[in-house]
């Protein structure tokens, strides 16, 4: 499944990688309400594939997904970046909130970490921080 919304010129392009339809729709709607362009996929394998076709400003990556999890997808994206010279912000989306879970995300190459359910203020604060830097 790949969801394409209406794209706005000169707006950031965000990739949402989430296998839970409710979480995917929520994140997509929140981002689109900010005027940001969003592509969504439901597993890590599709994320790696579509990453190579677009220049994303940020990726929101679920960590537990079928086919390829978010840790594996992030590692593959970071390997690709070594050959392209670009660096995309990757923010983990996870229901796991332990310190060791955060460290596992960072070790995989993710830049930051958001817990689910999504807390809207935290979500926008992190997104704006990375999109404006």
CATH at 94: 3.40.50.2300
> Would you say 37 and 76 are in contact if contact means Cβ atoms under 8 Å apart?
no
Please report how the helices 70-84 and 99-108 are oriented relative to each other, as an axis angle in degrees rounded to 10. 30
Is 32:7 a contact under the CB 8 Å cutoff? no
Phi and psi at residue 121, to the nearest 5°: -60, -45
Provide the domain limits for residue 22: 12-132
Looking at residue 6, its pLDDT comes to 53
Residue 41 lies in a domain: yes
Q: CA 37 → CA 43, 78, 93, 114, 123, distances in Å?
A: 19, 22, 18, 20, 16
Can you give the pLDDT at residue 69?
Answer: 95
The number of C-alpha atoms within 13 Å of 3 and in the hemisphere containing its C-beta is 21
Q: What is the count of structural domains for the chain?
A: 1
Taking only the tens place, the pLDDT of each residue in 27-69 is 999 999 888 999 999 999 999 999 999 999 999 999 999 899 9
Domain presence at residue 4: no
pTM for the predicted model, two decimal places = 0.89
- pLDDT tens, position by position, 65-117: 989 999 999 999 999 999 999 999 999 998 876 778 888 999 999 999 888 88
């Amino acid at each position: 499944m790949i969801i394409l919304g209406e794209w706005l010129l000169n707006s950031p392009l965000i990739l949402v990688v989430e296998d839970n339809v409710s979480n995917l729709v929520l994140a997509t709607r929140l981002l689109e309400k900010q005027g940001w362009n969003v592509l969504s996929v439901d597993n890590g394998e599709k994320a790696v594939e579509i990453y190579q076709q677009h220049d994303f400003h940020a990726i929101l990556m679920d960590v537990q997904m079928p086919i390829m999890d978010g840790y594996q997808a992030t590692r593959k994206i970071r390997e690709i970046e070594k050959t392209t010279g670009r660096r995309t912000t990757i923010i983990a989306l996870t229901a796991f909130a332990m310190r060791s879970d955060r460290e596992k995300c960072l070790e995989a190459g993710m830049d930051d970490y958001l817990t689910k359910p999504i807390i809207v203020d935290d979500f926008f604060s992190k997104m704006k921080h990375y999109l404006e830097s």
